[in-house]
Chains A and B, each alone.
Chain A
């Protein structure tokens, strides 16, 4: 059964590492839904958080193949245990006078922030897990979303379950 998995991958922070990982996925026909890379507190180590999909045999291969890359230090499948997930989304939504109050209300309910205002638009920032992000998107869609930028998920094990 195909399932969404969030992988947290620690890698050497070196040129070409991302391309090794992206190449592995494209070369073997694995799926990347989102990918987020940034430095960690440890010098020369970056964390890649990746959302991917596949059945259990494919996921096992993905994890093994990632581990096989020389620059990959550790691969954890967060979906195995309890974890927290966040994504940051910036969206520019049409905001005519008659809709402004409603848009602000929705933004408020989802604890979003208006970060830029124009005569005809709001730019809103939202953080949350995939469900929350999808929910606010569907509520704002009728007003006309002009542009959207998403970071992709980042995630961590909850501490009491962490190994």
Chain B
């Protein structure tokens, strides 16, 4: 058998794992890998900053459901990935990050561009490895992919010292991964499901609260069946948007700090909550003691640590969301006592409908562009079919409120970490994954400047991503808190200088457009969306608009500030 170098083994294993695209940035200790890469058909997207590589790989994974892959050099290349890795970790996104490392003999000597990236990323990866011997490489890569994609997915980092990429060994395909210490539970305990059904049966005001787990396990069909067959209204976290069709009458919108009135009221009033693939984040629960105070809670999650962490759960179900819902639906359909359930709580549904009618999402139209109006128009013009990535702040919340998602993988946003600068590289990754889809980054003028360099990547690879900047001249979300809770003391949230985004787009070789009046919004959107190049659309919007409703941090979610 012929011998392969570590670099060759890495590329061979990527192929075995079904990887056709990676995002990366070269440097000294990964030269051997890049040299081999040039001789394969693996597609390498050269980003402009390693953080961008990780966000792009993350969005690639969110779009395709496959593992996203990055390759970067040691030291600063590795540390630049940390924000991206932490972002993927908080949102449970399967990615594998390969970092170069100084030769094993130099590790620990403060060698040039040495950093203990395994130590640094230990708390923000699902698992990580330092490969010390080329003979362990193939098996480690196989394990890394297995761990990243199975169970509750997450980022895995593999640190590759230079001598490991150069070293040669006889290559043998590793066996299937068997880790006695890691066996996620996919199929739930039937007794628990039965208990869940018994609770559902007794409920008069049932509600489904779904999250990112539904998107990750692609359980949207099963969730929709559970809701529609039994007429149970649905609310989803930011991470769960697209898990239930946004145009269904049972849809209540997002709950929590900027949730809809009806979603928050329904949570506060329901007597049964079926929580699926959620982790009860504080941005959703507000004050936990008063979250769903009247409800019995059934929680389905593949990760036992998500259950009973922040709120007391009555029936925990550990299992994959898709499999669990499928089994639950089966059980319900075979249960005679559930026959009349769907029609037995019309009053509850009427109440929710009434909340929607009396207190809908709303904003006041004026003769300046309202950011909400831009999103509404975008939704209308794209018929809800675009892949939307977002930055962080008000732009993200308005995107979640005013764009409606009918499928998973359509809304790509940094939920858990709230990483400004996520949206543009994410749009790049999503567009690489879905070349025929319309990909739009909804941005703020602050966030967009955090990874603006990826415009060059978009242009280089002819990725026609559309960037919609809601340009309010402020770090809007922070300004909103200052307005509401700090006596309008706008400390360091007003930009005294912002680049001309139209010229900036042009400088990158992209197209720049601007709208300053409400009447220009539709025209600019139409022109931008129709363009087959990367486009920045700069919407100069009302500077001091706020996102409503708003629940002050730590307050019960029924306590909403309305417009």
Chain A residues proximal to chain B, CB less than 8 Å: 11-12, 15-16, 19-20, 23-24, 27, 57, 60-61, 64-65, 67-68, 70-74
Chain A nearest CB: distance from B26 CB in Å?
Answer: 27
- How many whole Å from A42's CB to the nearest CB in chain B? 11
Q: Which residues of B contact A (CB under 8 A)?
A: 118-119, 122-123, 126-127, 130, 147, 179-182, 303-305, 308-309
| Interchain CB contact under 8 A, A16 and B305 | no
- Contact of B305 with A65 in the complex, beta carbons under 8 Å: yes
**Chain A minimum-CB-distance residue to B181:** A73
**For residue A24, which residue of chain B has the nearest CB?**
B123
**Distance in angstroms between the alpha carbons of A24 and B126 in the assembled complex:** 12
| Contacting residue for A16 out of B118, B123, B126, CB 8 A | B118
Decide: B181 and A12 in contact? CB cutoff 8 A.
Answer: yes
Selected from A11, A19, A64, A71, the residue in CB contact (under 8 A) with B304 is A64
| 5 further A-B pairs in the complex, CB-CB below 8 A; given A16-B119, A27-B123, A61-B309 | A64-B305, A65-B305, A67-B304, A70-B126, A71-B181
Q: How far is the CB of A59 from chain B (nearest CB, A)?
A: 11
Contacting pair B181 A68 (CB below 8 A)? no
Check A20 against B303 for contact (C-beta < 8 Å): no
Which of B122, B130, B180, B303 is within 8 Å of A73, CB to CB? B180
B residues in contact with A71, CB < 8 Å? 181
Q: Which residues of B contact A11 (CB under 8 A)?
A: 181
Cβ distance A11 to chain B, nearest Cβ, rounded Å: 8
The 5 closest A-B pairs by CB, nearest first: A73-B181, A64-B305, A70-B127, A64-B304, A27-B123
| CB-defined A-B contacts under 8 Å, sample of 22 | A11-B181, A15-B130, A16-B118, A16-B119, A19-B119, A19-B122, A23-B122, A24-B123, A57-B308, A64-B305, A65-B305, A67-B304, A68-B303, A68-B304, A68-B305, A70-B126, A70-B127, A70-B147, A70-B179, A70-B182, A72-B181, A73-B180
Nearest CB in chain A: distance from B545 CB, A: 37
Q: How far is the CA of A16 from the CA of B129 in the complex (A)?
A: 10
Residue from A24, A64, A71, A73 having most chain B Cβ neighbours under 10 A = A64
Q: How many A-B residue pairs have CB under 8 A?
A: 37
Chain A residue nearest in CB terms to B308: A60
Contact residues in A for B118 (Cβ distance below 8 Å): 16
Measured between beta carbons, the chain B residues less than 8 angstroms from A74 are: 181
Question: In whole Å, how far is B179's beta carbon from the nearest beta carbon of chain A?
Answer: 7
**CA of A16 to CA of B131 in the docked complex: distance in angstroms?**
13
Contact partner of A20 (CB less than 8 A), chosen from B122, B147, B304, B308, is B122
Contacts of B182 in A (CB 8 A): 70
- How many angstroms from the CA of A75 to the CA of B126 in the assembled complex? 19
Question: How many Å from the CB of A13 to the closest CB on chain B?
Answer: 12
CB distance from A35 to the nearest CB of B (A): 17
Q: Inside 8 A of B119's CB, which chain A residues have their CB?
A: 16, 19
Interface centre among B119, B147, B181, by most chain A C-beta atoms within 10 angstroms, is B181
Q: CA separation between A74 and B181, bound complex, in Å?
A: 7
B303 surroundings in chain A (CB, below 8 A): 68
Interface pair B179/A61, CB less than 8 Å apart? no
CA–CA, A120 and B127, complex, Å: 53
- Kindly list chain B residues whose C-beta atoms are within 8 Å of the C-beta of A27: 123
Which of B130, B181, B304, B305 lies in contact with A70, CB distance below 8 A?
B181
User: CB-CB < 8 A to A64: which residues of B?
Assistant: 304-305
- Tell me, in angstroms, the Cα distance from A19 to B126 when the chains sit together: 14
Q: For A70, list chain B residues within 8 Å (CB).
A: 126-127, 147, 179, 181-182
Residues on the A chain within 8 Å of B122, using CB: 16, 19-20, 23
- CA of A55 to CA of B179 in the docked complex: distance in angstroms? 31
Instruction: Report the nearest B residue to A10, measured CB to CB.
Output: B181
Chain B's closest residue to A11 (CB) is B181
Chain A residues in 8 Å Cβ range of B181: 11-12, 70-74
Whether the pair B305, A61 counts as a contact (CB closer than 8 A) is: yes
Q: With A and B bound together, what is the CA distance between A74 and B119 in angstroms?
A: 23
Question: Which residues on B sit within 8 Å (CB–CB) of A57?
Answer: 308
Question: A19–B118 Cα gap in the complex (Å)?
Answer: 11
CB distance from A62 to the nearest CB of B (A): 10
Residues of A within 8 A of B179 (CB): 70
A74 to B183, CA, bound (A): 12
- Nearest neighbor of B182 in chain A, beta-carbon distance: A70
Interchain CA distance A65-B306 in the complex, whole Å? 10
Task: Evaluate contact between B123 and A23: CB separation under 8 angstroms.
Answer: yes
* A160, B304: Cα distance in complex, Å: 30
Shortest CB-to-CB span from A141 to chain B, Å, is 40
User: Nearest Cβ in chain A — how far from B180, in angstroms?
Assistant: 6
Complex alpha-carbon distance, A65 and B152, angstroms: 13
Distance (whole angstroms) from the CB of B127 to the closest CB of chain A: 4
| Chain B residue at minimum C-beta to C-beta distance from A67 | B304
Which residue of chain B is the closest to A56 with respect to CB atoms?
A: B308
**Distance in Å from the Cβ of B137 to the closest Cβ of chain A?**
16
**Who on chain A is nearest to B307 by CB?**
A64
Closest to A73 in B: B181
- B residues less than 8 Å from A67 (CB atoms): 304
Taken together as a complex, chains A and B put the C-alpha atoms of A71 and B128 apart, in Å, by: 11
Q: Which residues of B contact A20 (CB under 8 A)?
A: 122
Q: How far is the CB of B118 from chain A (nearest CB, A)?
A: 7
List A contacts of B309 (CB < 8 A): 61
Chain A residues in 8 Å Cβ range of B130: 15-16
CB distance from A160 to the nearest CB of B (A): 27
Q: In whole angstroms, what is the CA distance A11 to B126 when docked?
A: 16
**Minimum CB–CB distance for B61 against chain A, Å:** 19
Q: Report the minimum CB–CB distance from A77 to chain B (whole Å).
A: 15
> Chain B: which residue is nearest A27 at the CB level?
B123
Q: How far is the CA of A80 from the CA of B122 in the complex (A)?
A: 31
Report the minimal beta-carbon distance from B442 to chain A, rounded to whole angstroms.
32
Contact partners of A15 in chain B: CB under 8 A: 130
Compute how far the CA of A19 lies from the CA of B130 in the bound complex, rounded to whole angstroms. 14
Contacts of A16 in B (CB 8 A): 118-119, 122, 130
How long is the Cα–Cα vector from A64 to B306 in the complex, in angstroms?
A: 9
A61 to B311 CA separation, bound complex (whole angstroms): 12
Write the nearest CB–CB distance from B536 to chain A, whole angstroms. 39
Nearest A residue (CB) for B305? A64
Chain B's nearest CB lies how many Å from the CB of A111?
39
Give Cα A150–Cα B181 distance, bound, in whole angstroms.
30
In angstroms, Cα B308 to Cα A60, docked, is 8
Given the complex of chains A and B, what is the CA–CA distance between A27 and B119 in angstroms? 13
- Complexed CA–CA distance, A82 and B552 (Å): 48
| CB of B282 to closest CB in A, whole Å | 15
A127 to chain B, nearest CB (A): 31
Closest CB in chain A relative to B503 CB, distance in Å: 45
Considering the chains assembled together, what is the distance between the CA atoms of A70 and B147 in angstroms?
9
